[in-house]
Amino acid sequence: MSEVVMPRLSDSMEEGTILTWLKQVGDEVAVGDELVEIETDKANMAYESDTAGTLTEILAQEGETLPIGSPIALIGGSETDQGQTARAAGPVSDTTPPPGGGGPASSPPTSEVENAEALTAEAEREDHQAASASENGERVKASPLAKRLARDKGLDLATLRGSGPGGRIVKHDVEEAETQAGPAPSTQPEGAGLAPSAETAKGNVQTQELNKLQQTIARRMAESKATAPHFYLTIEIDMGKAVAARAAIKASSKDGDLVPSFNDMVVKAGAIALREFPKANGAYRDGRFELYSRVNVGVAVAAEEALVVPTVFDADRKGLRQIAADTRAVAAKVRDGSVTPPELSGGTFTVSNLGMFGIDEFDAVINMGQAAILAVGAIREVPAVRDGAIVPAQLMKATLSCDHRILYGAEGAEFLARVKTLLEEPVSLAL
């Protein structure tokens, strides 16, 4: 009998909440099968079993929150192994009902109740399997988030068409199906899940509980500001040549080709600079400097009611188109709930861009375990003085938030100046 414990699905995870059991008691489990969907401090993730056998008991029910290492289920051997074990154990005891029907006359009707409960459980398992299977008998491929949304909205996954990789059903497919079907009747009173409102001088006050991800963001951002002495450096970058370069790339691209964004250019420029300034690609931890050999740039992505930072790995070694492809791929994974723990915890530096919202400049909070974060604003067409003449220019402000325990003022300034040079002469980004 193997014990399944609450896994550590991210570097900062301390506890997890059981969202949905993807296997039921009695189901056969193979190594690599998705066993349970767990809400972590960063995302909702499906845990894949590392043990083969039969799910014999579920110890943690849906909705329970348990610390790392707590038992959540038991997996026994396969049915064949169990039969061999039973035969090796010797004759059946006289308290066990014979195969033909009920037990001894003196036995209470408990066995009948147990049999009825077993039949009911078996029927529920069959219903669950039927709800998760397509018409040809194959299991429906869907992201954990899509499964949870479909269950909450009362939608049958077998009736949906997936738009994800390999026909996988993702969040968008469930939401689109709900829109086409019309709003489902509400089974809860309006405002369910919120604390009762209280009349105050501020009006009616409602409180809303944070999910695991929001709790972690609140805790880690508070820890970062409380423990890392932030200082900020802002620089103005002439993006004229970068704008022209992107226009040329777009004009020469074929239909279907991915055109890098300005943020992809910033990621590439930052990655090159990180390779040249190792302390910017490190962290202060427990009185020591940690310097990382890989340059992995995290890209801040707005998810549902939270901010998640998936990673573009080895960004210094990749071209602009590959960075663009990787960025879009991990952003899509964040939004459909299929992002993996390494993709969330492998960043060595972060780029946060609010330029698409019209923000000129802002100060970002450093992610724990990193030395700095680069906050990027909008590109503005403004008048500028060039050789004594006023000319139009396309300028962008970038602010580097630094942890003064590892990245000092001069080093941070040199790093930011290098990013500026790379973006103002973008031909170097293709080298």
Question: Which residues belong to the active site?
Answer: 404
Eight-state DSSP code of residue 25? T
Question: Which two tokens mark 359?
Answer: 């923000």
- Spatial neighbors of 57 by CB under 8 A, at least 6 apart, are 25, 73, 74
C-alpha 208/C-alpha 143 separation (Å) is 26
Beta bridge partners of 379: 396
The angle that helices 240-252 and 262-276 make with each other, rounded to 10 degrees, is: 120
Eight-state DSSP code of residue 407? S
C-alpha 423/C-alpha 376 separation (Å) is 12
Q: What amino acid is encoded at 41 in this protein?
A: D
Q: Are 295 and 348 contacting, i.e. CB atoms less than 8 angstroms apart?
A: yes
Q: Three-state SS for 309? A: coil
CA 410 to chain centroid, in Å, comes to 35
C-alpha 224/C-alpha 155 separation (Å) is 42
Question: Which two tokens mark 277?
Answer: 């300034």
Cite the beta strand spans of 103-221 per DSSP E.
Answer: 198-200, 203-205
